[in-house]
Amino acid sequence: MPAPLESDVPSAALTGSMRDYAAPRGAGLQDRTAEFFAWQDLRRKHGLWSYARSTQDVPATVTTACEDSGAPIGGTNFASQDYLSLSVHPAIRQTAQEAIERFGVHSAGSSALMGNTSHAVALERRIADFLGMPEAILFPTGWAAGYGVIKGLVRPADHLVMDSRAHACLQEGARSATGNVHHFRHNDLGGCRSLLRSIRAGDSANGIMVVTESLFSMDSDAPDLAAMQEMCHEYNATLLVDAAHDLGNMGPRGRGFIGEQAMIGKIDLVMGSFSKTFASNGGFVACADRSVKEYLRFFSPPCTFSNALSPVQAATVLKAFEIVEDAEGGRLRDRLMANITALRHGLGQEGFSVYGDPSAIVCVDLGPEGLARLVSRRLPEFGLLANLVEFPAVPMGKARLRMQVMADHTSQNVHDAVAALTSAVRSAKADDIR
Ligand SMILES: Cc1ncc(COP(=O)(O)O)c(C=O)c1O
């Protein structure tokens, strides 16, 4: 049971954001971190820093964790990303144990040298076939795949045209690859087209990469991929789609929105992560040509100069793809969607506003950061674990509670979560009156 909370909270803990500390000044690179720490610690002392928690148990539908202050918390878990609940699947655990027996625990090298295992090679083939694409290459994380595919292919004279809400790994990759980074408003295809038109009017000699996600991780919405791909053909640009959040857990036979929109095998480049659905860490890029795969292996720094997936990770993800593709995968996706629908419905009935379309990401609008922090602080006492999301992950003033749904959640879990959030908001509003 968490310690009782004081209602008297200093306003500095409810105002300000990470933005205030993103560009500290001064010659001492380490000294200048102190100001951020003071603000963070003020929040921590008042129970308002709900980040950097550590699980004390399997991150299943009910779990225990520790705040970074050391305070124990626990309850219904909507804070872990394991959409098909594969991380607790007996076949996955057995596969991981067998991989340790056979290969040990360490890949012991980059995939550009001798770090890949036979499972990793088989996994590359499996992902390519899953997406109807000729080739795929693994990366140590999804972040590395997003950053690495851009840094590997785009050069300073080239251009990037990106959805403004594209994930940090894509934004960082873009910034490090070229100064020619152009953003269009979230899911604004007209904006995307006018950028392509104006870039091509002045430059037909260099490349353009257009970057979007098949399911946006904070807004739970999807772009029209067919229209974007067609636009890219028209302007001789290359489309990159990040399918981290929907691949495996949505769409026909788990093919996500790419499958839903009948675009299997038709997107130029698809990248993804194993950390949401495939019970492990790691990422991939799927492409249309062996030459692209080979180029990435040797010119994409997070692939070339980083250790390959561990044998356990590669074996686990391979097994996860097997489950995703067979009848059990279909049953898990049905259960997941039933939970998503029930959660969105329950939240709606309590008057909450939920972002986007049904997906495993259920983001509840909490509005300004101050109230959102107070709500998040109250959640553990009502037995709900869910992540507060603030700037820079979402725009200022649009804080939200991100609930990530799993196939194994029960209707009782969903009911408890809605009741807990309702009570937490009531308490937080009382705290806020002061
Ligand atoms: C859209 C998107 N792309 C990429 C990543 C990075 O994936 P990983 O956690 O495997 O590094 C994430 C995870 O936060 C994500 O949400």
Residue type, 191: G
Distance 187 CA to ligand 1 centre (A): 19
CATH number of the CATH domain containing 295: 3.40.640.10
Q: Is the CB of residue 169 below 6 angstroms from any atom belonging to ligand 1?
A: yes
334, 243: one domain: no
The closest-lying atom of ligand 1 relative to the alpha carbon of residue 146 is: 4
Q: How confident is the model at residue 134 (pLDDT cuts 50, 70, 90)?
A: very high
Q: Structurally, how many domains does the chain consist of?
A: 2
Range of the domain at 244: 91-325
Domain-located, residue 85: no
**What does the pLDDT read at residue 1?**
47
Query: Which residue, 285, 310, 325, sits at the end of a domain?
Result: 325
49-102 pLDDT, tens per residue? 999 999 999 999 999 999 999 999 999 999 999 999 999 999 999 999 999 999
Q: Is the CB of residue 283 below 6 angstroms from any atom belonging to ligand 1?
A: yes
CATH number of the CATH domain containing 57: 3.90.1150.10
Name residues whose C-beta falls within 8 Å of residue 179's C-beta, 6 or more positions apart in sequence: 156
218-251 pLDDT, tens per residue? 999 999 999 999 999 999 999 999 999 999 999 9
Distance 341 CA to ligand 1 centre (A): 24
Distance 390 CA to ligand 1 centre (A): 17
Place of tokens 């306003």: 11
109, 23: one domain: no
Residue type, 361: I
287-307 pLDDT, tens per residue? 999 999 999 999 999 999 999
Given 3-state DSSP classes, what are the helix, strand and coil percentages for the chain, each rounded to the nearest 5? 45, 15, 40
271, 187: one domain: yes
Distance 273 CA to ligand 1 centre (A): 6
Domain-located, residue 18: yes
How much is the mean pLDDT over the chain?
A: 96
Report, as an integer, the average pLDDT of 348-368: 97
Q: Is the CB of residue 163 below 6 angstroms from any atom belonging to ligand 1?
A: no
Distance 279 CA to ligand 1 centre (A): 13
- In the chain, % of residues over pLDDT 70: 98
Report, as an integer, the average pLDDT of 118-137: 98
Collapsed DSSP state (helix, strand, coil) of residue 230: helix
Q: Which of 165, 167, 219 to mutate to test the pocket of ligand 1 (most atoms within 8 A of CB)?
A: 167
Report, as an integer, the average pLDDT of 15-23: 95
Cα 343–273–163 angle (5° rounding)? 80
Q: How confident is the model at residue 2 (pLDDT cuts 50, 70, 90)?
A: low
15, 100: one domain: no
Q: Is the CB of residue 277 below 6 angstroms from any atom belonging to ligand 1?
A: no
Report, as an integer, the average pLDDT of 266-283: 98
Name residues whose C-beta falls within 8 Å of residue 150's C-beta, 6 or more positions apart in sequence: 160, 170, 173, 174, 177, 209, 211, 240
